[in-house]
Structure 1
Amino acid sequence: MLTLLKINNLALIEEVVWEMGSGLIGITGETGSGKSMVIGALKLIVGQRADTELIRTGENTCTVEAIFDLKDCREINSILETAGLEPCSENQLVIRRVLDKKATNKQFINCSPVTLNTLKKVGKLLVDLHGPHDHHSLFSSERQLSLLDAYAGLTEITNQHSLAYKKFKSLQSEYDELINSERSNEQAIDLLKHQINEIDEADIKEDEEEKLYKRYQVSRNSKSLLEASSKIISELHGEEHSVIDQLMQLMRSFKELEKFDSSATRYTEKFENALVEIQELQNQLETYTGSIEMEPSRIEEIECRVDLIETLKRKYGNSLGEVLGFRKSAHEKLNKNENRHEELKRLETEIEEAQSEMLKISEKITKKRIIASPKLGNLVTKELKDLGFKKSIFEISLEKKEKPTSMGTESIEFLFAPNPGEPSKALRSIASSGEMSRVMLALKSTLAGEDAIPVLVFDEIDANVGGAIAQSVGIKMASLGKSHQVISISHLPQVASLSKSHYVVKKEFTDGGRTRSEIMKVDGKERVAEIARMLGGEKKSAQQHAHSLMQTAA
């Protein structure tokens, strides 16, 4: 339930700290006293859009804060977890809303900032607001089905159906997308085949790039390389007085040296080894020179290969390894696309299975709805008789839909005949807000045990009624207060007298000449005086009538 409501700078309300209890809470006060601001504060708490015009004149910000003590936080905690927030601590939830003329409006849950959408989701589970103009929600098929399902105890199975429906629709969407993409799919297959063929025809090896580039560099400079290597060979051994010829002459001189000094042999050996190395170098250079490719066709072939590799890299990767990786990925995609018919068959099978499962669940729901709808209709009719519609009829019409929705295979219509002899009509065709208010109260009374929303707020839904009907309205609200916290803004003394706790909203004038609204709890004589005022004044008869109402309520 709502245990505390703090309001700062909301229209005529300067500051209010309101501690609330359980049961039926009556709020009364003269017209224009500011009772509607209490509803305005609650609307802010549940996430309805706000206008900075609500901020008290002369102030820049308005703050509304509410503390809820809850029996079950599981559904709310699920919403908080999805939003990345901490769960409720000890089943307590704190909501704060700040309106700011100079900055963005803000909202907080348990001190953490949240989006307005998250606040709305949480608010729907906390407070159910009903005012003279809030009955349109009862006209929607979704709302009517949810009320019937709540009465029939179908919450769990309808959740199952919703999941089955989502699965069916998801598979159907996947299937339709695959069918609709047939043309683009054929183009994709052609492209994949072209890409794979282009890579396969190149017959590349992952390690060939480095070797090829070395050959390419050599081929590009083959003329210069050939000239340089040929000159070296010629200098070494190609002409008279070549380097090797001169070294051979030196060798003979070393031999002469040995004849006169045997210890010089070591020098001869070193020189001889050096000469052998030079001769070996000459042989290697001749082999190297012979390997230099001078044929233009061969050089062109290497250049074409290099160009091909560069083209493949531009298209498919930064290296031949990446190009080959692209080819592998393309081949896998091709296999998948070429297996499209198998994929369609798989989806058809899964769609059939999902639809079958969904329809099995919906059939169970349909049977229970058919059984529950006349029972709920009779119970609401009975409640309406207590509220002044002595010969009214409330009925529920169910019709089979051609296509299922997330809520099942039925369309629903609440039908109401307030007067005898008149045919039942759709609830939306009822013009009187007073009649709609009592229908809503009858539904709430009937579904009190199944309604999980802890706080019900009725804003003058007892308008345009009086006498015995007003007494019945008060009794119904008090009865609802046994299972819910009910906040009722009312002009009816009968409702006020039946409240478990009674608050009065009054306007007062400050020393500075400003007007402000205050909320005060009344008991005893003060409460009798307020009910007497509602009855018509301070006359002794009004006082006696007020006492009588209080005694009857007790």
Structure 2
Amino acid sequence: MLTLLKIRNLALVEELSWDLGSGLISVTGETGAGKSVIVGALKMILGERADKGMIRTGENTCTIESIFDLKDPQEINAILEEGGLPPSEDTQIIIRRSIGTSVNRQFINDSPVTLTLLKKVGEHLVDLHGPHDHQSLLSQERQLAMLDAYASTEKMLSEYRSTYRTWRLKNQELEEIKNAENASEQELELLRYQLEEIQSANLNPEDGDDLQERYQRSSNSTRLQELSSQAVSALTGDDGLLDRISELQRIVRELEKYDNSLSDKLSSLETASIELQDLEATLTDYTEELDIDPSAAASIEERVNLVESLKRKYGPSIEDVIARQNTIAERLDNIENRSEKIENLVNELGETRRHLEGIGVKLTIQRKKSAPKLAKEIASQLKELGFKQSAFEVELTTQKDPTLHGLESCNFLFGPNPGEPLQPLRQIASSGEISRVMLAVKSSLAEQDSTPLMVFDEIDANVGGEIARAVGKKMALLGQLHQVIAITHFPQVAAIANHHYVVEKEVTSGRTRSKLFQVEGELRINELVRMLGGGGQQARAMAASLLEN
């Protein structure tokens, strides 16, 4: 669950440190008190793009930090490792964002991350729903994913999708080969010429720096021989360094006869003599190697010119020229042997399609078996949320061709009023109805949903008092399997929560600040009385009754 949320300099919040508990957590307060800042902070933790206008007036940066304590961080660690980050060493995931007037940064466990990676991690940590956050519920792909979660088809679906991708790749390959039939004779001649030109050069990656070094040596061999000979002469000629070193060694040996303590101090002279002799041998061998045959030098120069010409045409590097050779060869092979290749691919496609449909049929059977059960479960949840005579169905429609998601599409059909035909969810206009349908779906999938935190931002808007209480009960039941934050204006929802927090504005030193604090006992009753819209003993009695019930 989310154990800590820290906010600094975000809108009206100067500084907030919120330690959260488990179960259902209600957040209440007057309109404009700053409840939306909490939602905004959570959205930033989820990877939403930051608006610099949210930085508190007079400040340059704002920061949001959250700590999630996970029962099993394996799924998050897999995402981190895929993104090139080290896995978490314990069950804690720390996310921090810093939004500045010029630079924005985000971190997971103190490692800098991209916004894309943060969003991917956030999707597995928080499920946030507000009055306008139901687009995922209206998507047929998302509806099918919900059915699959309920039907536990993960392993079967993974095998199906792997086979589907293979089938699609083979289809693309077949289309490319068929398109090659349109190649003109002029294009074929050009391809054959280009392939012959590159192949005849017999290129390899060593034709790069190594060939250039050989060319430099051969083209400057005369000067190199002259300089290396001068160096050898300086070492071995009359009065050369080696002769003078020998004379110096004789003098040192005389010194050592009169003072043995000099032996260690002058030992480096022996080392210098040996190294100079090695240097002379190396230079002598090098001079002999430089005696390059003119025909060999001409051959090297010709090879350099050939390689440079190919790089200008097909480069800019040797590796690029070799890659171009492979591309041309593959293109020619597809054109010249297309009949055989088409026949082989058609056979492979048929076999892959049969395998794909075999897995797809098993997937369909599992879905059809689970669809009415899920529909019945959601319908039951809807009745508890005030839709006493509503109907709900999970409709599966066979597709003409296989898709990445299977052999059928899925449509959630809902009829809130008896006697009226069921309609797809996307055709229902009421946000209040959609909110309750979403809550019913979430409740039905509570055990399959692995998201630690669910946030409901005023989804109880536009519903009556008894319905609001039913919504609160449903959230409380979700709170037994997940941590749930409900931002609400309804006392019926706030009263049923395990923990109740209030957001309030205060003015100090001429500045407005939002603060969040937990209410219990009398303070909680006072807040419920405010939400009920009146004071007096009757309102207090009603507030106390809501808490007791």
Distance 1:201 1:521, change over 3 A: closer
Q: Deviations over 1:45-74 (max 9, x none)?
A: 101122111111111111111111112222
Aligned CA distance change for structure 1 residues 198 and 480 (closer, same or farther; 3 Å): closer
Q: Describe the shift of the 1:548–1:345 C-alpha distance in structure 2 as closer, same or farther (beyond 3 A).
A: same
Where does structure 1 lack aligned partners over 5 or more consecutive residues?
203-304
Which residue does 1:105 correspond to in 2?
A: 104
1:163 aligns with 162
Deviation at 1:350, TM superposition (A): 2.9
Alpha-carbon spacing, 1:315–1:343, altered in 2? closer, same or farther (3 Å): farther
Match of 2:375 in 1: 377
Q: Deviations over 1:513-532 (max 9, x none)?
A: 10010110111111121112
Residues 308 and 197 (structure 1 numbering): CA distance in 2 closer, same or farther, change over 3 Å? farther
1:478 matched to 2:476 = yes
Structure 1 residue 377, shift from structure 2 partner: 1.1
Tell me the residue number matched to 2:120.
121
Does the 8 Å CA contact 2:7/2:65 hold for their aligned counterparts?
yes
- The structural deviation recorded for 1:145 is 0.5
- What residue is the counterpart of 2:96 in the other structure? 96
Equivalents in 1 of 2:301, 2:15: separation in Å? 81
Query: Which residue identity does 2:105 align to in structure 1?
Result: K
Which of the two has higher C-alpha Rg?
1
Q: Is 1:49 aligned to 2:49, yes or no?
A: yes
Matching residue's letter, 2:72: D
Specify whether residues 177 and 491 from structure 1 end up closer, same or farther in structure 2 by C-alpha distance, changes over 3 A only.
Answer: same
Q: Contact (CA 8 Å) 1:199, 1:312: kept in 2 or not?
A: no
Matched, 1:133 2:141: no
Q: Name the aligned partner's letter for residue 396 of structure 1.
A: V
In structure 1, C-alpha distance between the alignment counterparts of 2:110 and 2:129, rounded to whole Å: 28
How far has the Cα of 1:354 moved from its partner?
2.3
Pairing 1:23-422 to 2, within 5 Å after superposition = 23-101=23-101, 103-184=102-183, 189-191=188-190, 193-194=192-193, 336-337=333-334, 338-422=336-420
Contact kept? 1:387, 1:473, Cα under 8 Å: yes
- 1:193/1:334 contact within 8 Å kept: no
Contact 2:52 2:99 in 1 (8 A): yes
Q: 1:453 aligned to 2:451?
A: yes
Q: Which moved more, 1:329-338 or 1:368-377?
A: 329-338
**Amino acid across the alignment from 1:136:** Q
Shift of 1:156: 2.3
Q: What is the CA-CA distance between 1:543 and the residue it aligns to?
A: 1.4
Cα distance in 1, alignment partners of residues 169 and 199 from structure 2: 39
Alpha-carbon distance in structure 2 between the residues aligned to 1:438 and 1:378: 16
Work out whether residues 172 and 351 of structure 1, in 8 Å CA contact, stay in contact via their aligned partners in 2. Answer: yes
Q: Does 1:548 align with 2:545?
A: yes
Distance apart, 1:178 and its partner CA: 2.4
State the SS of the aligned residue for 1:400: strand
Q: State the shift of 1:146 in Å.
A: 0.7
Q: Which amino acid aligns with 1:100?
A: G
Alignment-derived partner of residue 434 in structure 2: 436
Q: CA deviation at 1:364?
A: 1.0
How many angstroms does 1:423 deviate by?
0.9
Query: Could you tell me how far apart the structure 2 residues matched to 1:54 and 1:201 are?
Result: 65
TM-score by length of 1: 0.74
Change in Cα spacing, 1:185 to 1:98, as seen in structure 2 (3 Å) is farther
CA RMSD after TM alignment:
2.9
Distance 1:550 1:306 in 2: 94
Deviation (angstroms), 1:117? 1.2
* SS of residue in 2 equivalent to 1:125: coil
Q: Which residue of 2 aligns with 1:525?
A: 522
Q: Across the two proteins, how many residue pairs are aligned to each other?
A: 441
Distance in 1 (CA, whole Å) between partners of 2:331 and 2:123 is 50
Give the drift of 1:539. Answer: 1.4
Aligned mates of 1:122, 1:185 — CA distance in 2: 51
Using the TM superposition, give the Cα deviation of residue 313 of structure 1 relative to its aligned residue in structure 2, in angstroms: 6.7
Q: CA deviation at 1:406?
A: 0.9
CA deviation map 1:189-237 (0-9, x unaligned): 53454467789999xxxxxxxxxxxxxxxxxxxxxxxxxxxxxxxxxxx
Per the alignment, in what secondary structure is the counterpart of residue 412 of structure 2? Answer: strand
For 1:178, the aligned partner's letter is I
Q: Which amino acid aligns with 1:383?
A: Q
Contact persistence 2:178–2:338 (CA under 8 A)? no
CA contact (8 A) 2:415 2:422 kept: yes
Supply the distance in 2 between the matched residues of 1:312 and 1:89 (Cα, whole angstroms): 56
User: Are residue 538 (structure 1) and residue 535 (structure 2) matched?
Assistant: yes
Aligned counterparts of 1:366 and 1:347: Cα–Cα separation in 2: 27
Q: Secondary structure at the match of 1:26?
A: strand
Cα distance per residue 1:320-367 (max 9 Å; x no partner): xx9xx99xx789769845444443333333322322222111111111
Give CA-to-partner distance per residue, 1:67-111, whole Å, 9 cap, x none: 11112222222221121111122121111112111x232211111
SS at match of 2:164: helix
Aligned-partner SS, 1:515: strand
Q: CA deviation at 1:186?
A: 6.2
Q: In 1, distance between residues paired with 2:200 and 2:172?
A: 39
AA partner of residue 377 (structure 2): L
Give the distance between the partners of 2:197 and 2:147, measured in 1 at CA: 65
Question: What SS does the corresponding residue of 1:383 show, helix, strand or coil?
Answer: helix
**Aligned-partner Cα distance in 1 for 2:399–2:88:** 41
- Of stretches 184-193 and 73-82 in structure 1, the one that deviates more from structure 2 is 184-193
The verdict on how the C-alpha distance between 1:340 and 1:7 changes in structure 2, with shifts beyond 3 A counting, is same
Contact 1:466/1:492 (8 A) holds in 2: no
Q: CA deviation at 1:467?
A: 2.7
Summarize the Cα distance change of 1:503–1:317 in structure 2 as closer, same or farther, 3 Å threshold. closer
Secondary structure of 1:181's aligned partner: helix
Report the residue type matching 1:77 in the other structure.
Answer: N
Match of 2:266 in 1: none
Aligned mates of 1:365, 1:314 — CA distance in 2: 58
- Give identity over the alignment, percent: 52
Partner of 2:250: none
Amino acid corresponding to residue 534 of structure 1 in structure 2: M
Rounded Cα–Cα distance in structure 2 between residues aligned with 1:534 and 1:5 = 26
The aligned counterpart of 1:287 is none
Q: Following TM superposition, by how much is the alpha carbon of 1:136 offset from its aligned partner in structure 2, in angstroms?
A: 1.7
Structure 2 SS opposite 1:72: coil
Provide the secondary structure at the position in 2 that maps to 1:532. Answer: helix
CA distance in 1, matches of 2:106, 2:408: 38
Q: Cα distance 1:449–1:333, how it changes in 2: closer, same or farther (>3 A)?
A: closer
| Matches of 1:439 and 1:334, distance apart in 2 | 55
